[in-house]
C-alpha cells in the first residue's frame, strides 16, 4: 500500500516575541523532574484567539499533551478570572496567582493571505511577573495538531530543562479480527493516538516495527509469501525492500544510531545469531556464534555497544557486547527470564520485559545490570519503547480475558501509567525521534 506523508514546513520566528525572555535559571517556575514522583505544576492554558474554534482546538491539544506527561496540571478554564483579549499584552498576574496558576500560556491562531496558519504563543511566569518564552510558527492548516505538539514541547523544555517528546510519531502493529484469524497491519500515529494511518495491507502478518534515526524509514518483520523476512519501508514514498536475502528466518530488526546499518537475528537449524547489514554496501557481519537463540539486539545511543537477549545460559537473559561482537557478557541476574531489551536514548538505562512468577513486567536497569527497577507488572506486558527524551516508555499489554492487546505509556519513575487510545487492538509500539 502506497503511503505518502505531507512534508511539513514549520517556520519558527522567535524575534519580537522574546523581548522579556527569562532564562530558566532565573525563572521562579521550574520543575525538578529528576526526583521520584513530581507534584504536577498548576498551569493555565487559555483558549488561543482565532476566527472560529481552531485556536481553542490548538490550546486543547497543548493542554492534553502537558497533562499526559504527568508533570503539569492544567487548571479548569472555568476558574479563569481574566479574559485574554490580546495575547501580546502583559496579563493581570494577580488574577492568575489567585487561582494558583504558576505558569500561564496565551496565544493566537490566524490565517495568512497565502492560506497558511500563523500560530503564536507566550509562556508567562505569573509569580515572577515575567514572560519566559514566546514563539510563532507558520504551517499549512492540515498540520495544526503538529503545531500544538511543538508548542507543548517548547513549554515542556522551558519549564523542565529537558527536550519534550510530543512532536513525535509511533509505528505499531494494528490488530483486528478474532484470535483464531487475527490480522496484523503496520500502522503509524501521532504519540497521542491521533492521525492513525495504515502502512501495509492485512494479507501478511507483520511484527516488530522500528523507526530509523532519520524518521523517514521503518524496518519490520513480515511473513509475506510465508517467508519471514526483514523489510525496509520508506514512509514518504511507500517503497519497500527486503533487507538481505538470507536463507532461514530473519527477525527483530533495529537500526544503528547513524541509520547506516540494520542489526537483526537470523535463525538457521534451530539456532539464532545476530548479524548486521551495512545498508549502503549490503555487506553482512556476524556478531554472535552460539548454539542458542540470540535475538532482540539494540544499540547504545553512541553505537559502540549492543544489548541483546540470549538463552545460552538456559533461559533468556540480557547480554551486552561491543558493536563488533567483542566482550559478550551477561548483565541480568534476577529471578525469571529477561527479553526485548532496548537502550535508552540517553544511554543511562536499558528497558526490558521480565517474566517471573507467572506475570510479565516492564523494567529498567543500568547498562552494567545494576539498579534494576520494575515499573509495572501484570498478566502480560511486553515490548517497551523509549520516548526520544528517555523520560517515558510505551509498551503493550494483554489483560486477562481481554480480546487483544493495548498500548500504554509510563514514566521511568513507575508513575503516571495510562492507555494510549487506538482504533482497535495494538501491539509492538516503536517511538520515533523528535520530528523536524
Q: Please tell me the distance from the alpha carbon of residue 384 to that of residue 361, in angstroms, as a whole number.
A: 10
CB neighbourhood size of 7 (10 A): 8
> Last residue of a domain, which of 115, 140, 160?
160
Residues 179, 113, single domain; the answer is no
pTM of the model as a whole: 0.91
H or E segment and range at residue 237: none
CA proximity to 186, closest of 215, 229, 221, 153:
221
Number of helices followed by number of strands (H, E) in the chain: 3, 30
Provide CB contacts within 8 A for 242, sequence distance 6+. Answer: 229, 230, 231, 232
- Give CA 209 to chain center in angstroms: 13
Residues 178, 109, single domain; the answer is no
- State residue 248 phi and psi, 5-degree precision: 90, -170
- State residue 65 phi and psi, 5-degree precision: -60, -50
Assess if residue 310 is contained within a domain.
Answer: yes
Residues 242, 361, single domain; the answer is yes
Residues 44, 181, single domain; the answer is no
Pairing, β 392-397 against β 406-411: antiparallel
Assess if residue 436 is contained within a domain.
Answer: no
Q: Please tell me the distance from the alpha carbon of residue 171 to that of residue 190, in angstroms, as a whole number.
A: 9
Assess if residue 5 is contained within a domain.
Answer: no
Q: What is the pLDDT of residue 193?
A: 96
The sign of the CA dihedral 194, 200, 204, 207 is negative
Residue 384's DSSP bridge partners are none
Assess if residue 6 is contained within a domain.
Answer: no
Residues 137, 190, single domain; the answer is no
Domain that holds residue 111: 11-160
Q: For the chain, how many structural domains are there in total?
A: 2
- State residue 180 phi and psi, 5-degree precision: -75, -20
Residues 156, 180, single domain; the answer is no
Residues 252, 376, single domain; the answer is yes
Q: What is the pLDDT of residue 268?
A: 81
CA proximity to 84, closest of 112, 120, 48:
48
- State residue 55 phi and psi, 5-degree precision: -60, -45
Residues 331, 188, single domain; the answer is yes
Residues 186, 148, single domain; the answer is no
H or E segment and range at residue 3: none
CATH number, domain with residue 128: 3.40.50.10070
CATH number, domain with residue 199: 2.120.10.30
Q: Please tell me the distance from the alpha carbon of residue 328 to that of residue 338, in angstroms, as a whole number.
A: 16
Assess if residue 1 is contained within a domain.
Answer: no
Q: What is the pLDDT of residue 250?
A: 83
**pLDDT tens digit at each of 436 positions of the chain:** 333 333 344 444 443 343 333 334 344 677 776 666 678 999 999 999 999 999 999 999 999 999 999 999 999 999 999 999 999 899 999 999 999 999 999 999 999 999 999 999 999 999 999 999 999 999 999 999 999 999 999 999 999 999 999 999 999 999 988 888 888 999 999 999 999 999 998 778 899 999 999 888 999 999 888 788 889 999 989 999 988 767 778 888 999 999 999 999 998 878 899 999 999 998 999 999 999 999 999 999 999 999 999 999 999 999 999 999 999 999 999 999 999 999 999 999 999 999 999 999 999 999 999 999 999 999 999 999 999 999 999 999 998 887 899 999 999 999 999 999 999 999 999 999 999 8
Q: Please tell me the distance from the alpha carbon of residue 35 to that of residue 15, in angstroms, as a whole number.
A: 35
CA proximity to 261, closest of 249, 253, 271:
253
Residues 231 and 238 sit within 8 Å (Cβ to Cβ): no
Assess if residue 336 is contained within a domain.
Answer: yes
CB neighbourhood size of 345 (10 A): 20
Residues 200, 103, single domain; the answer is no
Work out the angle at residue 135's Cα, subtended by the Cα atoms of residues 131 and 140, and round it to the nearest 5 degrees: 150
Pairing, β 418-420 against β 406-411: antiparallel
Assess if residue 127 is contained within a domain.
Answer: yes
Assess if residue 44 is contained within a domain.
Answer: yes
Work out the angle at residue 425's Cα, subtended by the Cα atoms of residues 316 and 169, and round it to the nearest 5 degrees: 85
**Sheet with 169-176: strands ordered across:** 197-198, 183-190, 169-176, 425-431
CA dihedral 299, 300, 301, 304 (to 10 degrees): -90
> Last residue of a domain, which of 119, 136, 160?
160
Residues 93, 175, single domain; the answer is no
Residues 52, 189, single domain; the answer is no
Tell me the C-alpha to C-alpha distance, in Å, between residue 180 and each of 114, 403, 406: 53, 11, 18
Question: DSSP character for 77?
Answer: G
Q: What is the pLDDT of residue 15?
A: 35
Strands (E), 366-417: 373-378, 381-386, 392-397, 406-411
Place of cell 517528546: 165
Residues 172 and 191 sit within 8 Å (Cβ to Cβ): no
> Last residue of a domain, which of 113, 141, 160?
160
Amino acid at each position: 500500500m502506497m503511503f505518502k506523508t505531507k512534508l511539513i514546513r514549520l517556520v519558527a520566528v522567535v524575534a519580537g516575541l522574546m523581548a522579556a525572555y527569562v532564562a530558566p535559571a532565573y525563572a521562579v517556575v521550574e520543575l525538578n523532574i529528576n526526583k521520584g514522583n513530581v507534584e504536577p505544576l498548576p498551569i493555565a492554558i487559555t483558549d488561543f484567539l482565532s476566527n472560529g474554534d481552531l485556536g481553542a482546538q490548538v490550546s486543547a491539544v497543548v493542554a492534553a499533551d502537558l497533562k499526559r506527561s504527568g508533570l503539569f496540571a492544567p487548571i479548569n478554564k472555568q476558574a479563569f478570572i481574566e479574559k485574554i483579549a490580546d495575547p501580546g499584552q502583559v496579563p493581570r498576574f494577580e488574577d492568575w496567582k489567585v487561582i494558583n496558576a504558576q505558569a500561564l500560556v496565551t496565544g493566537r491562531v490566524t490565517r495568512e493571505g497565502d492560506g497558511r496558519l500563523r500560530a503564536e504563543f507566550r509562556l508567562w511566569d505569573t509569580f515572577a511577573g515575567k514572560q519566559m518564552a514566546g514563539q510563532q510558527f507558520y504551517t499549512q492548516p492540515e498540520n495544526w495538531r503538529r503545531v500544538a505538539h511543538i508548542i507543548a514541547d517548547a513549554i515542556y523544555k522551558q519549564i523542565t530543562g529537558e527536550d519534550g517528546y510530543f512532536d513525535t510519531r509511533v509505528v505499531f502493529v494494528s490488530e483486528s479480527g478474532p484470535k483464531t484469524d487475527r490480522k496484523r497491519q503496520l500502522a503509524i500515529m501521532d504519540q497521542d493516538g491521533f492521525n492513525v494511518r495504515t502502512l501495509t495491507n492485512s494479507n501478511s502478518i507483520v511484527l516488530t516495527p522500528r523507526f530509523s534515526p532519520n524518521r523517514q524509514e521503518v524496518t519490520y518483520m513480515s511473513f509475506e509469501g510465508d517467508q519471514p523476512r526483514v523489510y525496509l519501508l520508506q514512509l514518504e514514498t511507500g517503497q519497500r525492500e527486503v533487507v538481505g536475502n538470507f536463507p532461514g528466518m530473519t527477525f527483530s530488526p533495529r537500526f544503528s544510531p547513524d541509520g547506516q546499518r540494520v542489526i537483526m537475528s537470523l535463525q538457521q537449524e534451530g539456532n539464532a545469531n545476530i548479524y548486521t547489514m551495512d545498508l549502503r554496501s549490503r555487506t553482512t557481519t556476524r556478531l554472535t556464534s552460539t548454539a542458542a537463540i540470540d535475538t532482540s539486539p539494540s544499540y547504545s545511543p553512541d553505537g559502540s555497544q549492543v544489548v541483546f537477549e540470549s538463552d545460552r545460559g538456559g533461559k533468556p537473559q540480557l547480554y551486552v557486547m561491543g558493536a563488533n561482537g567483542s566482550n559478550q557478557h551477561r548483565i541480568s541476574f534476577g529471578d525469571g527470564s529477561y527479553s526485548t531489551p532496548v537502550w535508552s536514548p540517553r544511554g543511562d538505562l536499558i528497558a526490558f520485559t521480565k517474566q517471573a512468577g507467572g506475570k510479565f513486567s516492564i523494567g529498567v536497569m543500568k547498562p552494567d545490570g545494576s539498579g534494576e527497577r520494575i515499573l509495572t507488572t501484570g498478566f502480560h506486558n511486553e515490548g517497551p519503547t523509549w520516548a526520544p527524551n528517555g523520560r517515558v516508555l510505551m509498551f503493550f499489554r494483554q489483560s486477562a480475558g481481554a480480546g487483544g492487546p493495548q498500548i500504554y505509556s509510563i514514566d521511568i519513575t513507575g508513575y503516571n501509567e495510562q492507555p494510549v487510545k487506538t482504533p482497535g487492538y495494538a501491539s509492538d509500539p516503536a517511538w520515533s525521534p523528535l520530528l523536524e
